[in-house]
Amino acid sequence: MAANSRAKLLSLLAQKSFRLGQFKLSSGGTSDYYIDCRLTTLDAAGALLTGETVLQEIQSEGWKADAIGGLTMGADPIVVATSVISAQHGKPINGFLVRKAEKTHGTGQRIEGFREKPARVVVVDDVCTTGASTIQAIEAAREYGFEIVGVLCLVEREEAGGRANVEKAAAPAPFVALFTANDVRAEHVKNGPPPMFAVSAKCDFCDRPAVTNTPGNRCEAHRS
């Protein structure tokens, strides 16, 4: 079941979250593809698969976590899905969210949700490029007093030194990625519709090469 959930999650990420084109990243760089994991993790079926797959990975790593959390908002649906599935399995892992900055009102806290100490926690993120958002969550969780036993992301882009940055911040806790961007890209290409010969050399909406002529001349970024 777990292996099946992982394969289905990869397929859904490739179908819903992966796009080819020219994109500006939050890191400031540019890329010929973009992965928006929230289109999968906030999908009803995708949330179920995310929770099942992340929980299985936590169990496989032997992390024995009391809670799971990460920086809002990429981590939010992963945290909730995993927490719910863990409760269904009778071994609840509570959830916490890390604000990007402390509240300026009320209790002024940065950690929302689970706040018991001492606690063993897993920090999660959706996509790791430079690792900046993951590192923010790691630092906030440690500052609060949590013991980090593992760090996990759904998709690792394998660029911008992201893995090295996160591993350094997480140490001695291990960092694992469920998939690489190349995994998702390969699945996207494998399951995508067969390309049609375009009538024109250029997309109707931009100057990029057209890859289909249905319903009009479209590049990969504008085909859907």
> For the chain, what is the domain count?
2
Q: φ and ψ at 191, to 5 degrees?
A: -100, 0
Nearest to 186 by CA among 4, 7, 38: 7
207 and 168 assigned to the same domain: no
Distance CA 105, CA 107 (A): 6
Distance CA 154, CA 164 (A): 16
C-alpha separations of 116 from 66, 138, 141, 145 in Å: 9, 16, 12, 9
**pLDDT reported for residue 174:** 98
59 and 170 assigned to the same domain: yes
74 and 140 assigned to the same domain: yes
**pLDDT reported for residue 146:** 98
In which domain, by residue range, is 126 found? 2-192
57 membership: H or E segment, kind and range: helix 44-61
- Where does 91-219 have alpha helices with state H? 132-144, 162-170, 181-191
224 and 133 assigned to the same domain: no
120 and 218 assigned to the same domain: no
CATH (domain of 133) = 3.40.50.2020
32 and 96 assigned to the same domain: yes
Instruction: Judge contact between 167 and 175, C-beta under 8 A.
Output: yes
181 and 218 assigned to the same domain: no
**pLDDT reported for residue 218:** 75
171 and 201 assigned to the same domain: no
Q: φ and ψ at 128, to 5 degrees?
A: -110, 115
Could you list the beta-strand ranges (E) of the chain: 18-24, 30-35, 67-71, 94-98, 111-113, 120-128, 147-156, 175-180
- pTM for this prediction: 0.83
224 and 185 assigned to the same domain: no
Can you tell me which residue has the tokens 């940055």?
165
61 and 35 assigned to the same domain: yes
125 and 105 assigned to the same domain: yes
**pLDDT reported for residue 198:** 42
Token pair for residue 13?
Answer: 């990420």
Token pair for residue 197?
Answer: 């010969």
Give strand pairing partners of 122.
68, 150
Token pair for residue 150?
Answer: 């593992």
Query: In the chain, which residues have pLDDT < 50?
Result: 1, 194, 196-199
